[in-house]
Amino acid sequence: MRGIDTQVRKVRRQVFKEIANLAYHSDNLIADMEELPYKIVNADKTDYWENIYRERAVFRERMRLAMGMSLRPEDKAVHLTQGLEESNISEQYYEPPLMQVIPSACNACPINLYEVTNKCMGCLAHPCREVCPKNAITMINGKSYIDQEKCIKCGKCKAVCPYDAITHQTRPCADACGVNAIKSDELNRAKIDNDICVSCGQCMVACPFGAIADKSQIFQLIKAMQSGKKIIAQVAPAFVGQFGSATPEMIKAALLELGFENVYETAIGADMGALAEAEHYVHKVVSGETPFLLTSCCPSWSEMAKKFFPETIDNISNSLTPMVATARKIKEDHPDAAVVFVGPCASKKLEAMRRTVRSDVDFVITFEELTGMFEAKGILVEEMKSPAVINDATGAGRGYGVAGGVASAIEACVKEYYPDVDVNIEHAESLSECKKILMLAKAGKKNGCLIEGMACPGGCVAGAGTNIDISKAAKHVNNFKEAASERIPKMSLKGEIE
């Protein structure tokens, strides 16, 4: 469903727009919050659910998450605006869990079900019945029928059906989760095991019912901007192409129009990281001090390594992530400013919550959330008339937005500054592939390697907070990379924030 403007995406954008409107225009926040579900959900008909009452119930929970609050419990009365006062301050920050399942929106999809469809021809051979090891398939009214109590979900019947008449139904959110964090509650609805979830957000974008959502900070960001505080935005390398036909310069101009004091490329920090990790690889891995090096810029990848492969922790690069490195540079340039990271990634929200990062990054919003802010203010990004110059980073740093881009940037720096060193590159996309490569590394099969891991298939351009098709986004990033005035960063950049 990625890149398709589904009803789920339209609803999410509408929620972000309405919450931004509340922040910008509301004089009576509690009353306006109470009224919003009735304003949005038509009293005569429902657009998405079987009745307006369920649709309003779902919308209310989306509102709470979009304002940075948690879902309300189902077993006791909690007012819609409870917690609003604590949330209505610019200092309010995310409280885990970040990813949450809205129970009233969950369809309780089958977890693992083989079922005969109307494509069954009732053939004479009945191969499905013959291969079933548990005799779970019988013929009823000339068609195959699977007894679910006997079925062991082996899939042999589906594999042999000549008409592809047997379907295998699984839960889309669970299929998208590379760490098996999607479980079930007592009503068979999806439930996230927060002990193993790494907040990549792939379950959220995979759910056809939009039942999984993350918390947002746009309300608090707008309040901070309205207070007169100087706010500076840094945009992740994947930002190009995310706002229609708008050029990078137009996007920067739109951010300035929105009220940001200035805009930096996060690729500046990526340039710093590429130099630091190149040095780490040469001095630690090539020397034999450590067996391999894991890149650190994807928080879900590094969090998964720490949770599932704790013995690899010492092999994760200790260089600052691009988001943090750029934030520190901004605060050196503007000590009195707050910093907002604008990117494609849900898990960056939790990275920014870490004690070691919290003082550097004040807000994190996604491209999708930023779209809601633009719409609330009536800013047409594609029609900006005063393009601003954006030329902060090199092609190496800008390439971080696509899978393989981190490793290739580090490799380019090694070849430039350590020409006698050969680089062994490995990279994995999706958490399931990341787990495989970490298992190989743990077994000693990747010694001497520089290993890049990306939680999202395709890299950052496939993050849960993006607006456009992954392949199109990758093309935009590569074009922006090629347009950079410098191919790789100068070695002197590495020492700027050390």
Does residue 100 have a pLDDT over 90? yes
Does residue 491 have a pLDDT over 60? yes
Of the candidates 264, 419, 271, the residue with the CA atom closest to the CA atom of residue 342 = 264
* Average pLDDT score, the chain: 92
Does residue 35 have a pLDDT over 60? yes
Q: Which tokens belong to 276?
A: 């630091």
End-to-end alpha carbon distance in the chain: 42
| Structure confidence at residue 294 (pLDDT) | 95
Task: List every span in the chain annotated with CATH 3.30.70.20.
Answer: 7-107+173-219, 112-170
CATH code reported for the domain at 112-170: 3.30.70.20
249 pLDDT band (50/70/90 cuts)? very high
Assess whether the previous peptide bond of 291 is cis (omega < 30° from 0).
Answer: no
Of the candidates 266, 452, 296, the residue with the CA atom closest to the CA atom of residue 360 = 266
Amino acid symbol at 19: I
Does residue 87 have a pLDDT over 90? no
Assigned fold of 7-107+173-219: Alpha-Beta Plaits (3.30.70)
43 pLDDT band (50/70/90 cuts)? confident
* Per-position b or e across 456-486, b if 16+ CB within 10 A of its CB: bbbbbbbbbbbbbebeebbebbbebbeebee
Residue 371 or residue 41, greater confidence: 371
492 pLDDT band (50/70/90 cuts)? confident
Residue 100's DSSP bridge partners are 213
For the whole model, what pTM was predicted? Answer: 0.93
| Structure confidence at residue 44 (pLDDT) | 73
Q: Which tokens belong to 348?
A: 């960056």
353 pLDDT band (50/70/90 cuts)? confident
| CA-angle at 45, arms to 41 and 50, nearest 5° | 90
Residue 45 or residue 320, greater confidence: 320
* Residue count of the chain: 498
Q: Which tokens belong to 189?
A: 């609805």
494 pLDDT band (50/70/90 cuts)? low
Does residue 498 have a pLDDT over 60? no
| Structure confidence at residue 244 (pLDDT) | 93
Query: What is the tens place of the pLDDT at every residue in 372-409?
Result: 999 999 999 999 987 788 888 999 999 999 999 999 99
Does residue 497 have a pLDDT over 70? no
Average pLDDT over residues 139-150: 95
CA–CA distance, 103 with 185 (Å, rounded to integer):
10
Does residue 256 have a pLDDT over 90? yes
Query: What is the tens place of the pLDDT at every residue in 407-457?
Result: 999 999 999 999 999 999 999 999 999 999 999 999 999 999 999 999 999
CA–CA distance, 465 with 367 (Å, rounded to integer):
6
Query: What is the tens place of the pLDDT at every residue in 458-473?
Result: 999 999 999 999 999 9
Query: How many beta carbons lie within 10 A of that of residue 363, not counting itself?
Result: 22
Query: What is the tens place of the pLDDT at every residue in 261-313?
Result: 999 999 999 999 999 999 999 999 999 999 999 998 999 999 999 999 999 99
Percent of the chain beyond pLDDT 70? 97
| Structure confidence at residue 86 (pLDDT) | 74
Query: What is the tens place of the pLDDT at every residue in 120-141?
Result: 999 999 999 999 999 999 999 9
| Structure confidence at residue 239 (pLDDT) | 97
93 pLDDT band (50/70/90 cuts)? low
Query: What is the tens place of the pLDDT at every residue in 156-214?
Result: 999 999 999 999 999 999 999 999 999 999 999 999 999 999 999 999 999 999 999 99
